[in-house]
Every structure is written in structure tokens, then in C-alpha cells.
Structure 1
Amino acid sequence: MEHRTVTNIVVLICYLLLMVAFAAWLGKRAKIKTGTDFVLAGQSLPAWVLAGTLLTTFVGSGSIIGGASFVFQNGPLVSIFFFLGTLLGALTLGFLAQKIRRKSFHTVPQLLRTRFGRNTGTIGTLIVLVAFMGIAATQFTGAYYIFSLITPLSQTQGAVVAVLLITFLAPRRMD
């Protein structure tokens, strides 16, 4: 195995171990005891942080990289429409953040269901589900591509490693 590949693998493993150790350390220090505490951050986040957290949940690296590619291919004027959704989403979430915190909602569809009824909540859930399927797909694709670039793994093997790591590192329900 080439020296560069070994170095890449060592750095990757050290990074993953550091992430797990840091999360374990924070978990012991935190006042978070239940899943609700975890999801709502103990209701201690300011509204602007809550809005930013909600926004970053929906806008991942795939959107940013895809957005840059879109602008490059179509020009800056057309990109206004591409990024308008993100801006409108940020403004909407900024207005909703206070209500979400006050009512202790876990999800935006839960807020919609409470405010506008069951059908609206169901539609909101379906929209979020479709959005997260795309977001998850881009994250898995990016992860396996990175693994196949920095290690001798094939893309298929990188995909298996990515699925295992992402599944292992995903937060677990605590209630």
C-alpha cells in the first residue's frame, strides 16, 4: 500500500475516533437526559441559533456544491431563483423559531399539524421525507466517493463503510 494511502487512512480513523470521543465527553457533561432534551437542546438555544439549526438541517453540502455548479453553468442571474428558496426558508424558519421553542415541537410538520390540521401536517411530513431522502442520498454518495478516493476501497466498499459509519454515528432515541 502506498505511503499516501496509509496516511489518509490513519487520518480518517483518528478523525472518526476523535469525533466519537468528543461526543462521549459532551454526552457526560450535558444536562440532556431524554430524547426530548436532545431534540430541543434543553430549550436553551436563542431563536437565531434555532433558526440556523433548522436551516442547516435542510441545506447540506450537496446543495452548496450543487449551487456553485449551477451558478457556474447558468450564470449568476439565473442563480437568484436557485438560492431564493434557501433565503425564503431561512426567513420562514426565523419567524417560526420562537413558536417552535415555545410549544416544544420536535418537528416542523408537528407545528403544521397543530396549527393547520392533520392533512397539512401529513403533507408537511411527506415534503420533509422527500427532502431528507435527497439529502441522505447526497451525503452517502459524497461519503463513499471520499472513502474510495483516500483509501484503496472500491466505491461499493466505500458505500458499505459509509452506511455503517453514518448509521453508527447517528443519534439514538433516548426515551
Structure 2
Amino acid sequence: MVGSDATANLSLDSQLCFSIYSASRALTGVYRELLDELDLTYPQYLVMLVLWEHDALSVKELGASLRLDSGTLSPLLRRLELRGLVRRSRTDNDERIVRVALTEDGIEARRRAEEVPQRVLCSTGLSMEQVRLLKPLLDQLTESVVSAGRDATRTQTVS
């Protein structure tokens, strides 16, 4: 007979990962509706957020900020470039480095996106204080899981 503790541990409702997954899907759905008005996908919006904050970055720096590899980032940048929101160029001193910068249309898109965070916050039903408490916990969770993954990879490599 399976013990009640074991059963509880394996119930869907007790899984932290499922709560985070469900919340992520729900939030992404809210963003999708709002970003349709801006003609941006959620991943494109994340790229634009970083560029609105920093203006111009190398693809490597952009990928580090978003925790995306260049294989995932390159198609996003290509679509944003085709839409005229960003411009990619190689640096003069090292052609291997590609810089991404906002165009005038990309800068203008920021103005149109300014209400998105507040509209998302309203849809969560959370207060600003609850968000201020939740975000650092989620950031800590992410860093802990990423670190554990790196440690596991190192352990597997050494074995």
C-alpha cells in the first residue's frame, strides 16, 4: 500500500512546478492579448524591454540578460529587424561581435508599450506590495535551480 505522504508528494496540486507553470501560462496569455495590439510576440517584447533599458547591446549581452542562447535569439532579432524596430551591425574593431540597437520605430514602440506593465498588474489581482515580495522569491528560485543544474552538470562531467 502506498503511504499517504508518498501520495501527497506526487499529487499535482502539491507540485511547485505546476503552480509556476500554470501562473506562467496565464500571465503569458495576458501579455499575448496586450502585445497583439503592439504587433509583438512575448519573446519579442522581452527583447525590446532590454533594449529600451540599455539602447544598444551585443547579441551576447542581450542573450545573457534574457537567458537565451544565440540560436533562439537570432530569429527573434531577425523578425524585429524586418519590422524595422532594431538594427544589427558588426562592430568595427571585432567583426565577430554583432550589436543590436533600436531604430526610431523601436524607440517609438516604447511609448506605445508603456501601459502594458500596469495592465498586466491589474490582471493579476496582486498589489504592488505582493509583487515586490513575490519577484525576489521567484528570482531566488530561478538562480537556485540554475545553479543546481550547473552543479549537476559539473558532477556528471567529473564522474
Q: Relative to total residues, which structure has the larger helix share, 1 or 2?
A: 1
TM-score by length of 1: 0.29
